[in-house]
């Protein structure tokens, strides 16, 4: 999704901005641009369709290899929402060479504003919603100073925005604002930086101020003034970025996704660290305020999107089985617009890798208005909007996840949510022995994930049988159904092969009609109470000529399916099956995508952090 970088410094900011854009590449984008004020105060702007490297080439060409010079600048990676990906639609956007801006988010009333501005003589050079904002500021500048013009302009905006704005001839002032889209300010020595994500700025600072909803900031080299939504001057805390959470480098791996897949044993350990003893889930695992809240929980509502929704789906099976508490799960984009009824004493759990997903954030805000016992977020990004707006947070501690296809964020979400399940279950009669059984299993989890990863060469070989397929069907039962869904999501998002997931018992109610020799069917078959039922479903497939790929427990004799493709996994304690069985599906989708030559880390049309609706 769109990324913002800005800097007002004592030195040339060109490389700070370009490096920031490179660090934001993982978010997914289609074009990039940058504007820097020259020593004379002129706006020098360069934009390019495609990757940041294309922008660098364009700057090189436009400046005869000298590069851009200036100590104040703004830059952007765009992910198209209004208007096709093109140089004209790329940011920064300007109004009459006088003011320039970058924008993340969506201006919902842009059409009305555009019509009004057109009648006032403004000519639009792009199809974007963002361009209205810079013309509004330009209009206000005719009567007001820079700061007042920004304040007046944003008072007309409906929707979501993070903005960074510069003015021709004004090397001393940068204005930024946020409403509904994240924005952080990096603090340096007589320098300030702006980013939609702290990762963009780690090369220059590790001290950050997270702007809150409705905040505006006036930034000079010596002074930062933050105003809240009512324009009162406010102080916001400076947080120091925790470098332990890792850095965004691929290391020896060809893709971030592969690196992140293989990091799973380590990050699962990190997620468990300090939260379990040899036999117990520790009370302090959920923060100081948690105990009182968890004591009162009578219902759980989970809200999330995509992969995070799938971890919510698995958690529903766990919470209802172990804690005996009703648990609902819903995708955030539905929940936020539906007439919802929240049961008494509901703990609302949002799950999100980024903590910035617009739908999840909006759903949380809506649920809070309806009345909740409390909200908790299971999140990977400290300081993110969901973390700041929730009563409790359970950090997944997976370190930055750069590949658009989520891997380690998913398995750490599940690990954290299993801990939470135990905490709730203990309050609802789970015996000490049952708790010990799960905690003992959790201690084995990193080793079991290692064993599943060791199947990589086998899975790489199997992936060759997928490269020419156009459709596929994933099957699972019980908590393995959401794992089938997650496996299907992985395959479709990075290999572009159509993949659907079904609870295997549903096959005969329709999807069986799809089965023929061109349709690979992937099934996850751990040794559990539902195995026999699943095998009968697979036999139905085999009888109709379907080609089966079964990931099954090594101790199970699946002789009826022997002529199919069987991959054996170690025996896994029942509570861990979802976490271990997703590993081969992640590897399968990765290898199929590599064979198909797709952009594994930044698949087409997708963004890492979906900060717009």
Residues with a catalytic annotation lie at: 2, 608
Q: Total number of residues binding ligand AGP (CB under 6 A)?
A: 15
CA distance 474 to 466: 13
Least separation in angstroms between residue 271's CB and ligand AGP is 15
Nearest residue to ligand AGP, by Cβ distance, number only: 306
We find the least distance from the C-beta atom of residue 356 to ligand AGP, in angstroms, to be 7
Residue from 31, 179, 301, 352 that binds ligand AGP (CB under 6 A)? 352
Residue 305 found at the interface with ligand AGP (CB under 6 A): yes
Interface mask toward ligand AGP for 147-166; x: CB under 6 A? --------------------
Instruction: At 612, list the tokens.
Output: 């717009």
Binds ligand AGP (CB under 6 A): choice among 171, 301, 328, 360: 360
The phi, psi pair for 93, rounded to 5°, reads -105, 145
Name the nearest CA neighbour of 374 among 265, 445, 289, 477. 289
- Whole-angstrom Cα distance, residue 507 to residue 537? 7
Q: What is the rounded distance in angstroms from the CA atom of residue 429 to the CA atom of residue 435? A: 10
Nearer to ligand AGP, 89 or 380 (CB): 380
Near ligand AGP by CB under 6 A: residue from 308, 333, 485, 602: 308
Of 46, 77, 95, 353, which one interacts with ligand AGP (CB under 6 A)? 353
Three-state SS letters, 57-91: HHHHHHCCCCCCCCCEEEEEEECCCCCCCCCCCCC
The reply to whether 546 sits near ligand AGP by the rule CB under 6 A is no
Q: 406 to 425, contacts with ligand AGP by CB under 6 A?
A: 406
CB of residue 408 to ligand AGP, shortest distance in Å:
11
Separation between Cα atoms, residue 458 and residue 461, nearest integer Å: 5
Closer residue to ligand AGP in complex, CB, 193/256: 256
CA dihedral 286, 290, 291, 294 (to 10 degrees): -100
How far are the Cα atoms of 45, 80, 340, 466, 605 from residue 602, in angstroms, in the given order? 26, 15, 35, 21, 9
Task: Kindly indicate which of the ranges 143-151, 299-307, 530-538, 578-586 contains the residues binding ligand AGP, using the contact rule CB under 6 A.
Answer: 299-307
First to last CA, the chain: 11
167/354 with CB nearer ligand AGP = 354
The closest of 412, 390, 389, 392 to 400, measured between CA atoms, is: 412
CB of 314 vs ligand AGP, minimal distance in Å: 14
Query: Do residues 550 and 526 touch, judged by C-beta distance below 8 A?
Result: no
**Shortest distance (Å) from residue 146 CB to ligand AGP:** 35
Alpha carbon of 160 to those of 104, 108, 109, 180, 195: distances in Å? 8, 8, 11, 5, 16
495 binds ligand AGP (CB under 6 A): no
Between residues 507 and 600, which has the closer beta carbon with respect to ligand AGP? 600
Residues 474 to 493 in contact with ligand AGP, rule: CB under 6 A: 493
Do residues 196 and 162 touch, judged by C-beta distance below 8 A?
A: yes
Stretch that binds ligand AGP, among 268-276, 352-360, 465-473, 577-585 (CB under 6 A): 352-360
Taking alpha carbons only, the member of 606, 406, 492 closest to residue 1 is 606
Residue 491's contacts (CB-CB under 8 Å, 6 or more residues apart) are 466, 472, 474, 497, 499, 585, 588, 589, 592
* Binding track over 593-612 against ligand AGP, x by CB under 6 A: ----------------xx--
Indicate which single residue of 306, 478, 520, 546 sits in contact with ligand AGP (rule: CB under 6 A).
306
Write down the least CB distance from residue 452 to ligand AGP, Å: 18
Nearest residue (CB) to ligand AGP, 33 versus 584? 584
Cα–Cα distance for residue pair 189/212, rounded to 1 Å: 23
Strands 216-219 and 174-179: antiparallel
Smallest separation, CB 26 to ligand AGP (Å): 11
For the bound state, the minimum distance from the C-beta of residue 163 to ligand AGP, rounded and expressed in Å, comes to 22
Encoded one letter per residue, x for contact with ligand AGP by CB under 6 A and - for no contact, window 377-406 reads ---------------------------xxx
Residues that bind ligand AGP (CB under 6 A): 305-308, 352-354, 357, 360, 404-406, 493, 609-610
């Amino acid at each position: 999704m769109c990324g913002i970088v800005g800097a007002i410094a004592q030195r040339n900011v060109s490389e700070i901005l370009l490096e920031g854009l490179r660090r934001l590449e993982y978010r997914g984008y289609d074009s990039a641009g940058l504007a820097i004020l020259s020593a004379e105060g002129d706006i020098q702007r360069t934009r390019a369709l495609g990757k940041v490297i294309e922008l660098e080439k364009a700057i090189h060409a436009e400046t005869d290899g000298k590069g851009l010079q200036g100590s104040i600048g703004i830059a952007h990676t765009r992910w198209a929402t209004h208007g096709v990906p093109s140089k004209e639609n790329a940011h920064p956007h300007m109004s009459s060479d006088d003011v320039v801006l970058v924008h993340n988010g969506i201006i919902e009333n842009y059409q009305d504003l555009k019509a009004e501005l057109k009648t006032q003589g403004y000519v639009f050079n792009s199809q974007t919603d963002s361009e209205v904002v810079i013309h509004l500021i330009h209009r206000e500048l005719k009567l007001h100073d820079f700061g007042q013009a920004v304040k007046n302009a944003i008072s007309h905006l409906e929707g979501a925005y993070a903005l960074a704005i510069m003015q021709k001839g004004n090397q001393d002032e940068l204005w930024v604002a946020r409403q509904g889209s994240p924005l952080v300010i990096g603090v340096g020595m007589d320098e300030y930086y702006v980013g939609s994500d702290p990762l963009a700025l780690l090369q220059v600072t590790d001290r950050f101020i997270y702007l809150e909803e409705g905040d505006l900031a006036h930034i000079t080299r010596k002074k930062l003034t933050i105003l809240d939504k009512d324009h009162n001057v406010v102080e916001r805390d400076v947080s120091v970025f925790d470098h332990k959470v890792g850095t965004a480098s691929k290391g020896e791996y060809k893709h971030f996704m592969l690196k992140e897949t293989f990091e799973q044993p380590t990050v699962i350990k990190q997620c468990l660290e300090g939260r379990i003893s040899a036999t117990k889930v520790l009370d302090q695992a959920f923060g100081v305020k948690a105990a009182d809240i968890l004591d009162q929980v009578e219902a759980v509502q989970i809200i999330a999107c995509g992969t995070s929704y799938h971890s919510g789906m698995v958690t529903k099976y766990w919470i209802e089985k172990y804690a005996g508490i009703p648990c609902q799960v819903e995708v955030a984009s539905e929940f936020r617009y539906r007439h919802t009824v929240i049961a008494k004493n509901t703990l609302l759990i949002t799950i999100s890798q980024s903590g910035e997903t617009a739908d999840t954030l909006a759903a949380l805000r809506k649920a809070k208005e309806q009345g909740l016992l409390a909200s908790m977020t299971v999140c990977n990004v400290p300081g993110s909007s969901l973390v700041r707006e929730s009563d409790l947070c359970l950090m997944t501690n997976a370190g930055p996840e750069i590949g658009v296809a989520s891997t380690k964020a998913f398995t750490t979400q599940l690990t954290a949510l299993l801990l939470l399940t135990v905490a709730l279950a203990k309050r609802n009669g789970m015996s000490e022995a049952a708790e010990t059984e799960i905690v003992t299993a959790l201690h084995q989890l990193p080793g079991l994930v290692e064993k599943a990863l060791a199947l990589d060469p086998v899975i790489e070989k199997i992936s060759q049988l997928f490269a020419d397929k156009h459709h596929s069907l994933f099957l699972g039962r019980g908590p393995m159904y959401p794992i089938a869904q997650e496996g299907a999501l992985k395959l479709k998002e990075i290999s572009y092969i159509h993949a659907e997931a079904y609870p295997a018992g549903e096959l005969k109610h329709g999807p069986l009609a799809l089965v023929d020799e061109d349709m690979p069917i992937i099934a996850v078959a751990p040794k559990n109470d539902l195995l026999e039922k699943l095998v009968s479903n697979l036999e139905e497939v085999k009888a109709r000529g379907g080609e089966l790929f079964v990931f099954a427990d090594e101790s199970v004799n699946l002789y009826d399916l022997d002529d199919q493709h069987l991959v054996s996994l170690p025996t896994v304690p029942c509570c861990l099956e979802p976490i271990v069985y997703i590993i081969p599906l992640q590897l399968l989708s990765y290898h199929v995508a590599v064979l198909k030559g797709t952009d594994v880390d930044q698949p087409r049309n997708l963004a890492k952090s979906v900060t717009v609706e």
